[in-house]
Amino acid sequence: MNCCSNKPVIGLIAGEKLCKAHFIEYFESKVFKTIRQFDLIGKEEHLGVALSGGKDSLTLLHLLSKLSKQNPKIKLTAIAINEGIHGYRDKTLAAAEKFCKKNSVPLHIYSYEEEFGMPLDNMLKALDVKPCTICGIFRRYLLNKKSRELGFTKLATGHNLDDEAQSIVMNEFKNNVQASARLGPKAGINSNKKFVQRIKPLYLCTEKEVTVYAFVNGLLDNFNECPNVAKSYRAQVRDMLNNFENENPGTKYAIINSFLQILPDLKKRFKGEQADYCKSCGEPAAKDKCNACIFAERLEKAKLRAV
Ligand code: SF4
Ligand SMILES: [Zn+2]
Ligand SMILES: [Zn+2]
């Protein structure tokens, strides 16, 4: 069924086909409803927006900019991480810089090279480790530390429904229930003065919806994918879920909806079981030493061996 006589730009799972104007209305009201439903943004905030320059984070910043224009008590600052991935991150960071300039959003960029001594490409030559494992650890570490130093009240990330469904399934397959307890539209389990609350306003939007929204709003003119993504466990789960969704539409929504029913109990169960501080750097850590410090030390040793 079509929404009106205009040409449709997307078909929804329920069967409805929406034109550009009706889709934008549908998408934006879904995001703003998510923000209200999960109480993601208060009346007065200094929101950090984790910006990679890809479709998800540009869509997020575009929507939060609208919110901030309507409500001057919501201040926005973008934060980006340059991992040092040749031929990929330079392009998405250029898109991020262009967007921030056009929309007058301040942008802070931090790089692995400056913070950890070398770009990701070199780290992967120095250590025998899966790219996304080390990359994810350093990114989460820097985003939290810098968000706190920049005085953000919360950090908004562009995670969409597909990302979350993948994370839930990955944690199930690895029997990592505690990691699932940290998921949800408001990430984390314990409040910790050194931990900046992460929020996911695109939580209920599918990857397809975000892609179409970014495209029809001219936020993205090309698709860049990290060259390391194909080697990741996440990519295997992503492909499996996409195949399953094609055969059984609604599967990803079902994963999220059932997860949301058990999430409050999961958070309750694991409350208080982590939230200590790293003895080396003082950042929040589950053990004596945080994973970022463990990898930074391994890199240091690898560097010494190479001399
Ligand atoms: S796909 Fe993996 S290596 Fe590439 S940016 Fe993401 S986490 Fe880093
Ligand atoms: Zn229409
Ligand atoms: Zn540490």
Q: Cα–Cα distance between 164 and 82 in angstroms, integer?
A: 23
Q: Cα–Cα distance between 162 and 218 in angstroms, integer?
A: 22
Closest alpha carbon to 120 in 92, 82, 94:
82
Closest Cα to atom 5 of ligand 1: 226
163-178: b (≥16 Cβ within 10 Å) or e: bbbbbbbbbeeeeeee
The yes-or-no verdict on residue 30 having pLDDT over 80 is yes
Q: In the chain, what percentage of residues exceed pLDDT 90?
A: 81
Lining ligand 1 with CB less than 6 A are 83, 131-132, 135-136, 226, 228-229, 232
Q: Cα–Cα distance between 303 and 307 in angstroms, integer?
A: 7
Residue 75 identity (one-letter amino acid): K
Q: Cα–Cα distance between 159 and 61 in angstroms, integer?
A: 12
What spacing in Å lies between the alpha carbon of 241 and ligand 1's midpoint?
Answer: 19
pLDDT tens for each residue of 165-224: 999 999 999 999 999 999 999 998 877 789 999 999 999 999 999 999 999 999 876 677
The yes-or-no verdict on residue 121 having pLDDT over 70 is yes
Mutate to test the pocket of ligand 1, among 51, 82, 83 (most ligand atoms within 8 A of CB): 83
Residue 66 CB neighbour total at 10 angstroms: 14
Who wins on pLDDT, 307 or 212?
212
Q: Are 197 and 188 in contact (CB under 8 A)?
A: yes
**Chain centroid, CA 15 distance in Å:** 28
Domain chopping of the chain, boundaries? 37-306
pLDDT tens for each residue of 231-268: 899 999 999 999 999 999 999 999 999 999 999 999 99
Q: In the chain, what percentage of residues exceed pLDDT 70?
A: 98
Question: Which residues partner with 267 through β-bridges?
Answer: none
Mutate to test the pocket of ligand 1, among 91, 129, 228, 233 (most ligand atoms within 8 A of CB): 228
DSSP 8-state secondary structure symbol assigned to residue 1: -
Q: Return the C-alpha torsion angle 199, 204, 208, 211, nearest 10.
A: -40
Closest Cα to atom 3 of ligand 1: 132
Q: Out of 68-82, 87-101, 143-157, which region has the weakest mean confidence (pLDDT)?
A: 87-101
What is the pLDDT, as a whole number, of residue 307? 64
Q: Among 3.40.50.620, 3.40.190.10, 3.30.365.10, 3.30.530.20, what is the CATH number of 37-306? A: 3.40.50.620
What is the pLDDT, as a whole number, of residue 245? 96
Mutate to test the pocket of ligand 1, among 226, 231, 291 (most ligand atoms within 8 A of CB): 226
Average pLDDT along the chain: 93
What spacing in Å lies between the alpha carbon of 9 and ligand 2's midpoint?
Answer: 9
> With the C-alpha atoms ordered 216, 56, 82, 226, is the resulting torsion angle positive or negative?
negative
Who wins on pLDDT, 221 or 43?
43
What spacing in Å lies between the alpha carbon of 14 and ligand 3's midpoint?
Answer: 47
What is the pLDDT, as a whole number, of residue 256? 98
What spacing in Å lies between the alpha carbon of 299 and ligand 3's midpoint?
Answer: 14
User: In ligand 1, which atom is closest to the CA atom of 131?
Assistant: 3
